[in-house]
Amino acid sequence: MTIIKTHFPGSFLLLSVIFLTALTPVFAQEKETILAIDSNTTTTIDSSVKGKKKVRVYNPGKAALRSAILPGLGQIYNKKYWKLPIVYGALGTSAGVFVFNLTSYRDTRFAYKAKYKVSQPGATAADTAALLKIKSPLERYSLETLRYYRDQYRRDLDYSVLFFVVLWGLNVVDAAVDAHLKSFDVSPDLSFKLKPGRSEIANTNGLSLVLTIGKNINPRPLKNTFAD
């Protein structure tokens, strides 16, 4: 077991208690512990099944590639299934907005062209017949109004494409970051403790933050004291 002891002045007591109270449940609930780390992969031991240990290697590159090919696939690779509704909900909403803007843009563009051709001196019978194909909500609008709506839907169409691409990219980034975060040790052997005392280096009284890593196999563990 390794104990890292950090000394804080007494004025830092309240902030430390709030911070550690928020972090402790997070560290205690995770079921995966770190086994090994290198620059490309994170290996963990899945201890969710009693009496059995399954080694799992997480590769951020693979997670990102899978999410780039199919949104949500990287989250499945990272076993973050609860994120799937968020990923598909965000992408589905942006896709729905794109379809709406595309349909509205095509309708207003057609209505504008049809009315514009009829207003010209050389209008033909075919141009007049095209007026019958205009959608009913757009029939009463003038050329200026139709042109305004056409341009507005065209801009909204560009924005909806941009949002869809950004959300797809965020899905890829999330999968890669999740795989990287597997490298953090969240096992039950990792714990924080608060101990009041005196710092020999700083020569002050205050609160010490003690980080304990690993099992207590040494009756006289090494202590490192750092003073603020």
Tokens 């512990």 belong to residue: 33
Is 50 exceeded by the pLDDT of residue 18? no
Q: SS3 of 16, please?
A: helix
In this structure, the dihedral spanned by the alpha carbons of residues 142, 148, 149 and 153, taken in order and rounded to 10 degrees, is 160
Angle in degrees, CA 18, 24, 25, rounded to 5: 115
Q: How confident is the model at residue 6 (pLDDT cuts 50, 70, 90)?
A: very low
Are residues 150 and 105 in contact, defined by beta-carbon separation less than 8 angstroms?
yes
Residue 122 has pLDDT above 70, yes or no: yes
Q: What's the pLDDT at 177?
A: 93
Backbone angles phi, psi at 190, to 5 degrees: -100, 120
Is the pLDDT assigned to residue 93 strictly greater than 90? Answer: yes
Q: What is the pLDDT of residues 128-177, one digit of tens each?
A: 888 888 888 888 899 899 999 999 999 999 999 999 999 999 999 999 99
> In this predicted structure, what is the pLDDT of residue 17?
43
Q: Give pLDDT tens digits for 26-62.
A: 443 444 444 444 555 555 555 555 555 555 678 899 9
